[in-house]
Amino acid sequence: MNITTLLLDMKGAVSQGMLWSIMTLGVYISFRLLDYADLSVDGTFATGGAVTAVLMSKGMDPYLSLVFALLAGLACGAVTGILNTKLKIPSLLAGILTMIALYSVNLHIMDGKANIPLLGTDTIATKAAARLPGGDKVIAGMVIGLVFAAAVIAFMYWFFGTETGSVIRATGNNEYMARAFGVNTDTMVILGLMISNGFVSLSGAMVAQCQGYADVGMGIGTVVIGLASVIIGEVIMGDRFNFAYKLVAVVVGSIIYRMIIALVLFLGLKSYDLKLFTAIIVAAALAIPVAVNKFSSKKSIAEPDVSDTDGGRSPSDV
Amino acid sequence: MLKMTKIYKTFNRDTINEKKAIRSVSLHLYPGDFVTVIGGNGAGKSTLLNLVAGVYPCDGITGSSIVLGGNDITRAPEYKRAKYMGRVFQDPMRGTAANMEIEENLAIAYRRGKRRGLKWGITKKEREFYHEKLKILGLGLEDRMTSKVGLLSGGQRQALTLLMATLKKPDLLLLDEHTAALDPKTAKNILQLTYELVSGQQLTTMMVTHNMRDAIKYGNRLIMMDEGKIVFDVSGEAKGKLTVEDLLEKFEAVSGGEFANDRMLLA
């Protein structure tokens, strides 16, 4: 145990966090904007890795293969969305069905192999490293992640500000209101899930390329990692300023999550305890607002505010 | 304007819980009609409104049709019918998106019935327009346009929903007991605002209410429902002369006196 190892671990963590932040931004769309706990991302993340690895092993340009990974993710999201809106399957179950189905689909994509190595092939990581002084692949991953995260944030900031993006947000917020104002809420849920899964798949492809292999099991726990990152970002950065700030908070959350993981591993946590640890982080983070609420409501009973006798309404209200 | 012909609605058909909520209702609204709809619990008032709005389809019976302003909307889905109508719900939470800003809500309302593309969701010119419109409410919301709607009180939200429902002039305004969840003073203000908006734009309106006094005071036509049928339909001068006692008498005649227990009396 020494400080140099920790610093190296942290460098790797930042790189990982940047690459996985694209996935986290996707989870933010379903979880926060659509108010939809979409479990299909566990499958979609591996789909991205599978698609990129197979296409690259057939000689496709690594960047071009990312486009196909993104398209595959859009299709996965559409499946979950259609199961939920058109076939009226509850959202959690729709996600689980897609996730399970994708396990087989991903193995098909990888031609029955559970793992496809990308050693000796040019990846986005080796290409970027070759351009960097020092040729550090970890730094390369960081730079690639940063560029993609910036692009995705810019896209989301624009898209969710447009007429269509606004009604996707309205659908997630209050579907009755959305329909009353002429929004086809089914289409909006499908569209939102497509974009969400598209980014998750893209992230899976980037991670596969940077780690040098695609694995059918690489998506397990993705949704929980995504939720943990979203919540950590919100807790640390706070709910303030505009939409772009909140999206940056998501990326920061993703990086901090990886740093926490690196730290606890450094302090001696066994790697097989990581999933349990992540689940506890998410449970704790979700419980904090509830606990805070309880605490503050107790406080207001102890010190009643005399001016608040009519249930919080001021005389100027309707 | 609105023409409903031989409409039926049965819930849970062929089960022990089968309920014939609407039985052979035909209703013709003329442009500018402001109709108040009263009736006891379970009389079918809200069901009637929901059938017009398309929340659920009416029973598929030959000869059933709903035509609004010349468009047959009998089988149109709810979101497509929204093009023609503005709606305000009983629950103040239903009509607005709480996590979105006041101006974002207005921008969504302003595009009711229009194709939504990839243009920016709200323009600078619109903001000025919304600012002027919000002033009408007299609640100071025009200075809080970027506040989240979730921060508003129930009455403020209902006032905003009314403004949103009428922002782009609807062919038909549907008000489903939109003051029932508010305290009496707030309810009175919202009704006053309703009256101003409806008469200002000459809107064809259906207003469901539990309150007989309001049903008499507002509008030019009154419909009483009982067990899924329209049992009383009065308009013009005859409606103007109605008293609460008249209505009670009328109601007891059709429902056999059960009405005395209904919460309409409390109003």
Q: pLDDT tens, A56-69?
A: 999 999 999 999 99
Asked if the structure places residue A308 within a domain, the reply is no
The answer to whether the CB atoms of B79 and A161 lie below 8 A apart is: no
Number of domains in chain A: 1
Sign of dihedral through CA atoms B162, B163, B165, B170? positive
Percent of chain B scored above 90 by pLDDT? Answer: 82
State residue A111's pLDDT score: 93
Q: Which residue of B has its CA nearest to A186?
A: B79
- Structural domain contains residue A73: yes
> What per-residue confidence (pLDDT) applies to B257?
57
Interface contact A85, partner B, CB < 8 A: no
What span, in angstroms and rounded, lies between the C-alpha atoms of A272 and B73?
Answer: 59
pLDDT confidence of B216, banded at 50, 70, 90? Answer: very high
CB half-sphere exposure, B41, CA atoms < 13 A: 7
Question: Which is more confidently placed, A236 or A45?
Answer: A45
Residues of A in contact with B159 (CB under 8 A): 318
Residues of B engaging A, defined by a Cβ cutoff of 8 Å? 53, 77-80, 82-83, 87, 89, 93-100, 104-105, 107-109, 111-114, 116-122, 139-140, 153, 155-156, 158-159, 164-165, 186, 189-190
**A312/B112 Cβ within 8 A:** no
Residue B146 pLDDT: 94
Predicted confidence band of residue B264 (pLDDT cuts 50, 70, 90): low
- Distance set, CA A230 to CA A31, A233, A249 (Å): 9, 5, 8
| A262 close to A64: Cβ distance less than 8 angstroms | no
Contact A182 B112 (CB under 8 A): yes
- Backbone torsion region of residue B24, taken as left when φ is above 0, otherwise alpha when ψ lies between -120 and 50, otherwise beta: left
Chain B residues within 8 A of A163 when measuring between CB atoms:
111, 116-121
Q: Helix H segments across chain A?
A: 3-28, 41-57, 62-85, 91-109, 124-131, 137-159, 163-173, 175-180, 185-211, 222-237, 243-266, 274-302
Report yes or no on A37 lying in a domain: yes
User: CA B240 from chain center: how many Å?
Assistant: 21
pLDDT given for residue A300 in this prediction: 54
Q: Which chain A positions have a beta carbon within 8 Å of B191's beta carbon?
A: none
- Domain hosting A114: range is 3-219
Compare CB distances from A177 to B53, B95, B116 and report the shortest one's residue. B95
Residue A191 belongs to a domain: yes
C-beta atoms of A180 and B95 within 8 A: yes
Q: State the Cα torsion B178-B183-B189-B195 to the nearest 10°.
A: 30
Question: In the structure, what pLDDT confidence band is assigned to residue B267 with cuts at 50, 70 and 90?
Answer: very low
| Residue A87 domain flag | yes
pLDDT at res. B265: 52
Q: Judge whether residue A303 has pLDDT over 70.
A: no
Query: pLDDT tens across B17-46, in order?
Result: 999 999 999 999 999 999 999 988 889 999
Q: Which residues of A touch B178 (CB under 8 A)?
A: none
The answer to whether position A141 is within a domain reads yes
pLDDT at A278: 87
Does A162 sit within 8 Å of B153, measured CB to CB? no
Q: Are B80 and A182 in contact (CB < 8 Å)? A: yes
> What's the longest Cα–Cα distance across chain A?
74
Q: What is the pLDDT of residues A72-113, one digit of tens each?
A: 999 999 999 999 999 999 999 999 999 999 999 999 999 999
β A115-117/B221-226 pair status: unpaired
What is the token pair recorded at B207? 């207003």
What is the Cα–Cα distance from A117 to A212, expressed in whole angstroms? 6
Q: Which residue of A has its CA nearest to B100?
A: A170
C-alpha A70/C-alpha B7 separation (Å) is 49
Strands (E), B59-198: 65-68, 71-72, 85-88, 172-176
Taking an 8 Å cut-off on Cβ atoms, the answer to whether A318 and B116 are in contact is no
Asked if A174 lies within 8 A of B139 by C-beta distance, the reply is no
Asked whether the beta carbons of residue A163 and residue B156 sit closer than 8 angstroms, the reply is no
Contact, A110 vs A49, CB < 8 A?
Answer: no
Separation of alpha carbons A121 and A83, rounded Å = 38
Instruction: Specify the 3-state DSSP secondary structure of A269.
Output: coil
A137 interfaces chain B, CB cutoff of 8 Å: no
Of B87, B147, B71, B144, nearest in space to A181 by CA: B87
Helix, strand, or coil (residue B26): strand
Q: Which of B55, B100, B116 is best to mutate for the A interface (most A CBs within 10 A)?
A: B116
Q: What's the one-letter identity of residue B7?
A: I
Residue B239, judged by CB atoms within 10 A of its CB (0-12, 13-18, 19+), counts as middle
The pLDDT confidence band at residue B117, using thresholds 50, 70 and 90, is very high
CB contact under 8 A, A181 and B156: no
Do the Cβ atoms of B120 and A161 come within 8 Å?
yes
A211, part of any domain? yes
Residues β-bridged to residue B28: B3
Give the helix/strand (H/E) hosting B238.
Answer: helix B236-240
Identify the closest residue of chain A to B154 by CA–CA distance.
A318
CA distances from B115 to A7, A297, B69, B170, B174 (A): 53, 45, 20, 16, 22
Q: How confident is the model at residue A305 (pLDDT cuts 50, 70, 90)?
A: very low
Q: If DSSP states are collapsed to H, E and C, what string results for A104-154?
A: HHHHHHCCCCCEEECCCCCCHHHHHHHHCCCCCHHHHHHHHHHHHHHHHHH
CB B43 within 8 A of CB B5: no
Cβ neighbors of A174 (< 8 A, separation 6 or more) are B93, B94, B96, B97, B98
Contacts of B140 in chain A (CB under 8 A): 316
Nearest to B82 among A164, A165, A180 (CB): A180
B109, B164 Cβ separation under 8 angstroms: yes
Instruction: For the sheet with B34-39, list strands across it.
Output: B85-88, B172-176, B205-208, B34-39, B221-226, B229-235
Q: How confident is the model at residue A310 (pLDDT cuts 50, 70, 90)?
A: very low
> What's the whole-model pTM score?
0.90
Residue A313 covered by a domain: no
Which element (helix H / strand E) includes B224? Answer: strand B221-226
Q: Answer yes or no: are the C-beta atoms of A199 and A24 closer than 8 Å.
A: no
- Band of pLDDT at residue B256, cut at 50, 70 and 90: low
**B105: nearest CA partner in chain A:** A170
Q: Does A313 touch chain B (CB under 8 A)?
A: yes
pLDDT reported for residue B220: 94
Contact: A180, B100; criterion CB under 8 Å: no
Q: How does the average pLDDT of chain B come out, rounded? A: 92
Structural element, H or E, at residue B190: helix B184-201
Residues of chain B in contact with residue A182, where contact means CB-CB under 8 angstroms, are 79-80, 82-83, 111-114
Task: Write the pLDDT tens digit of every residue in A208-251.
Answer: 999 999 999 999 999 999 999 999 898 888 877 789 999 999 99
Which residues of chain B make contact with A318, given a CB cutoff of 8 A?
A: 139, 153, 155-156, 158-159, 186, 189-190
Nearest CA in chain A to B185: A318
pLDDT tens readout for residues A243-301: 999 999 999 999 999 999 999 999 988 989 988 988 888 888 788 878 888 887 765 55
Q: What angle do CA B21, B25, B245 make, to 5 degrees?
A: 85
Report d(CA A82, CA A60) in Å as an integer: 31
Please determine, for residue A315, whether its predicted confidence score (pLDDT) is greater than 70: no
A163 vs B80, B119, B155: nearest CB? B119
Contact of A180 with chain B, judged by CB distance below 8 Å, is answered with yes
User: CA B157 to CA B124: how far, in whole Å?
Assistant: 23
